[in-house]
Amino acid sequence: MEGNIERQVVDTIAELIADEEFELLSHLMLTGSEVSVRRMTDALIKAEVFEPLVAGACMRREVKRTVATGGGGELGAGRIFRDFEAPDEGEAAIPDHILEEAEAISKSAAQSRRIAARQEARLDRDPVRQHIIERLGELLNTSEPAMEAMIAIARTSVWEDTARAAAMKLGNNKIVMGRISRASRFEDMMAVGEASASEAVRQIIARTLAEAMPQASDPSYRAALKYVAEHHPSEGHRRAAERALGG
């Protein structure tokens, strides 16, 4: 899509959606530039097609520009003592201890750059993922498929910040929490709470669980009790859950 005018890109995205090329769109969500993928996101949201958005939010990496760097900028990469390395006959050369010190400084600087590069590589600030979360968040109250997409992102995104953002949107939405609770989706509720990394969200979910506790025969019964015992804001509820657990 790069190098094309906006109208061509928009028309092509519309054709792909109309032809239900959702697998191809999912791949493009991972590899396209930010501008193009933002256009795809908006078009997919408008068409209420959410599968490619889940793929983008769960697996897309920041598309970073590569900058060519020459070796001459590094200390020690060139002849830093070039005016003195070949002294005229009878003149003194640079002492060995100074050359050794310069080499040590050069190696230390190179190591620092490598460490900084590794740390930078672990950071991923792709803005498209947050854009997907924000757009899906606008539809949570009115679209169950959008809610399902957000739950999938909260539970499966490989990016902690993206999973947390999705979980925060879900956990702070009373309509969504009520809908999930009425459907007895207790595991989803607890998974959202953990993904949020927010005690406030965990307390909201613990209160919801206490009001709609699964049956004792439900596989998630003890997990829900434990969640209430750990996160409910009321001490009375926490103690009751602990007693039910046999504590």
Residue 95 pLDDT: 73
pLDDT at 17 over 70: yes
197: left (phi over 0), alpha (psi -120 to 50) or beta: left
Tokens of 65: 């520009």
- DSSP letters for 58-88: HH----PPP----GGGSTTTS-TTTTTSSPP
> 57 or 35, which is more confident?
57
- DSSP letters for 91-115: SPPPPHHHHHHHHHHHHHHHHHHHH
Report yes or no: 124 and 133 within 8 Å, Cβ to Cβ. Answer: no
Residue 247 pLDDT: 64
> 36 or 139, which is more confident?
139
pLDDT at 225 over 70: yes
Provide CB contacts within 8 A for 61, sequence distance 6+.
30, 124, 126
Residues 117-148: pLDDT tens digits? 666 555 677 899 999 999 999 999 999 999 99
What DSSP character marks residue 142? T
Q: For the stretch 27-42, what's the b/e string if a residue is b when 16 or more beta carbons lie within 10 angstroms of its beta carbon?
A: ebbbebeeebbbbbbe
Q: Residue 223: how many CA atoms within 13 Å on its side-chain side?
A: 13
The band of 75, judged by pLDDT with boundaries at 50, 70 and 90, is very low
Nearest-CA neighbor of 209 among 191, 192, 230, 224? 224
pLDDT at 89 over 80: no
pLDDT at 96 over 70: yes
Nearest-CA neighbor of 175 among 133, 209, 142? 142
* Rounded Cα gap, residues 189 and 99, in angstroms: 64
Residues 40-67: pLDDT tens digits? 999 999 999 999 999 999 999 987 665 4
Domain ranges of the chain: 6-61+124-244
Residue 229 pLDDT: 96
Residues 181-219: pLDDT tens digits? 999 999 999 999 999 999 999 999 999 999 999 999 999
Lowest mean pLDDT among 14-18, 50-54, 96-100: 96-100
Report yes or no: 192 and 205 within 8 Å, Cβ to Cβ. Answer: yes
> 71 or 170, which is more confident?
170
Residue 171 pLDDT: 96
Give SS3 for 34.
helix
Provide CB contacts within 8 A for 205, sequence distance 6+.
171, 177, 189, 190, 192, 193, 227, 231
pLDDT at 99 over 70: yes
Query: How confident is the model over 222-243, as a mean pLDDT?
Result: 95
Residue 55 pLDDT: 96
